[in-house]
Amino acid sequence: MSSQRFRLKEAGRLDRNAPLKFKFDGKIYEGFRGDTLASALLANGVHLVGRSFKYHRPRGHLGVGAVEANALIQVGDGNSTEPNVRASQVEIYDGLVASSQNRWPSLPFRFGRSKRSARRTYPGWLLLQNFYVAAQVVDEVRVFYQTRCWTWQGPNRPRSRSV
């Protein structure tokens, strides 16, 4: 078992004789039977689990139980995926695959910083709202945000057709 310096040595309702391996954002972590995904990630030192939708600010584990509003994750992959699941309500099992949401292009990269560096190139009196942009450019920007900034992805299966 790897070193989990954020975990208590004893106490709790965990079965410490049953270690489990799970995958979060493509990296393999270890936990114990009885762990929730939130507690296992915290024990492994993972505090950043997502980003806010509007300003792309970091989001971590805030609450315990059903009131968790920040650690929304996507469980599963391929056709058996379920988005917007609270990390504090998912019990880990061997082979669990989970991923963070709203993390384009990656979770550590902060998209808002690129906007801040671009802001330095414009003088203070010049606002981007003052430009008249062709409809084609507006559509390209809209498609860019729709394809890259969704908070979750649906399953990879065709839609059922109603008769």
Residue that is written with structure tokens 């954020």 in the block: 6
Q: How confident is the model at residue 92 (pLDDT cuts 50, 70, 90)?
A: very high
Return d(Cα 98, Cα 26) in angstroms, integer.
Answer: 8
Q: Assign 88 to helix, strand or coil.
A: helix
Name the range with the highest mean pLDDT among 11-15, 96-100, 116-120. 96-100
Return d(Cα 151, Cα 3) in angstroms, integer.
Answer: 32
Name the range with the highest mean pLDDT among 35-49, 55-69, 108-122, 125-139. 35-49
Q: Are 77 and 26 in contact (CB under 8 A)?
A: no
The alpha carbon dihedral of 28, 30, 36, 42 has a sign of negative
Residue 160: predicted pLDDT: 59
Return d(Cα 32, Cα 94) in angstroms, integer.
Answer: 9
Helix or strand run (H / E) with residue 40: helix 37-43
Residue 151: predicted pLDDT: 57
Of 143 and 17, the structure prediction assigns the larger pLDDT to: 17
Domain annotation for the chain: domains and CATH numbers: 15-148 (3.10.20.440)
Residue 58: predicted pLDDT: 86
Strand ranges, E, within 15-112: 15-24, 27-33, 50-51, 58-59, 72-75, 82-86, 96-100
Residue 103: predicted pLDDT: 80
Residue 56: predicted pLDDT: 78
Residue 33: predicted pLDDT: 92
Look at the pTM and tell me if it is higher than 0.95: no
Percentage of the chain with pLDDT > 70? Answer: 69
Q: Taking residues 111-135, what's their average pLDDT? A: 60
Q: Taking residues 102-114, what's their average pLDDT? A: 74
Q: How confident is the model at residue 16 (pLDDT cuts 50, 70, 90)?
A: confident
